[in-house]
Amino acid sequence: MTKSTFHTHSRFDDGQGELEDYIESALKKNFQVFGFSGHAPVDFESDWHVQNDCLDEYIDTTKYLKEKYANKIEIYTGLETDYYDGCTDWRKKKGIDYTIGAVHFLVDENSGQKLPIDGTLKEFEDTLGNGFNNDIHALFRAYFGQIRDMLMKITPNIVAHLDVIRKNNSNNAFFDEDDIIYRDEVLKTLEIISLTNTIVEINTGGISRGYVKTPYPSVWILEACRDMDIPIMLNSDSHHPDNIDFYFEETLVVLKSMGINKQRILYKNEWCDVSL
């Protein structure tokens, strides 16, 4: 197995620790490939994105680490990019090797308010109530519609935590994944993922932070990816150097039992399929 993660944060955004702390942890844990994916700067005030005037330092530091550790580990520089109306296209930014496209909030058309999708339980209740009159189907359509829009307009290399809207859905508090509208929205999105040749990440970050008990996306979605030949990638979305391979072993057992034996990653500067 080529041990890797391409989804990690640090003190440059909402994670803890220096970039180098993550590489030291990666070496201890026998990683061969490591990607940084700080939250790309946004054009509104935020305390969880890399600030615009720190972006160069972020990129330069990853470059320095690439050279310093060249004989020990492959390092790549990425960004987790938010998709919203008027967002920046970071794909061509100098020094950026890849992007992970994410929808973390939806913008209310009337008020212009940002409605968080992956926040706290209270925030999700407010989003559903204030933004969608408690119509969960409308929220499904808006969220997955936004992901599809992102895939078609600013196709990222990787799509982040595809079903993150179940973050606060323990015990089916808000919806049942068997809901036909839900399944339909997910499957329509997978069609676009397949057409745009995007990688679906398997994200264990919700588990390390105590929100969910299984990785994003759910097993039935992974089965659909497998059947549609959509490439996947195992990522930790870690916000602390100790969590860079959190729940990897358990997830690998599940993937292999499903007949998923390879992942697509950047390796020797090319996107290729490597065994899990």
Angstrom distance (rounded) from CA 20 to CA 60? 12
> x/- contact string, 116-155, with Zn ion (CB under 5 A)?
----------------------------------------
Measured from the CB atom, the residue of 160 and 234 that comes closer to Zn ion is 160
The least CB distance from residue 262 to Zn ion, in Å, is 23
Q: Considering only residues 3 through 22, tell me which ones interact with Zn ion, judged by CB under 5 A.
A: none
80 versus 163: smaller Cβ distance to Zn ion: 80
**Cβ atoms < 10 Å from Cβ of 260:** 18
Of 49-57, 100-108, 217-225, 245-253, the window that binds Zn ion (rule: CB under 5 A) is 100-108
Residues 153-212 that bind Zn ion (CB under 5 A): 160
The site for Zn ion, by CB under 5 A, has a size of 4
Residue with Cβ nearer Zn ion (7 or 264): 7
Helical (H) or strand (E) element with 79 = strand 74-82
Q: Report the residue number, 5 or 134, with the smaller CB distance to Zn ion.
A: 5
Residue with tokens 């034996």: 261
Tokens 């398997």 belong to residue: 202
> Is residue 237 involved in binding Zn ion (CB under 5 A)?
yes
Residue with smaller CB distance to Zn ion, 104 or 264? 104
Residue 156 near residue 81, CB atoms below 8 Å: yes
Q: Name the residue among 30, 37, 27, 33 with its Cα closest to residue 7.
A: 37
Candidates 42, 59, 102, 260: give the one binding Zn ion (CB under 5 A).
102
Residue 132: closest CA among 104, 162, 106, 158: 106
Measured distance CA(170)–CA(259) in Å, rounded? 27
Site string for Zn ion, 78-97 (x = CB under 5 A): --x-----------------
Residue 32 to residue 2: CA distance in whole angstroms: 6
Which run of H or E residues covers position 272? strand 270-275
Provide the binding-site residues for Zn ion, judged by CB under 5 A: 80, 102, 160, 237
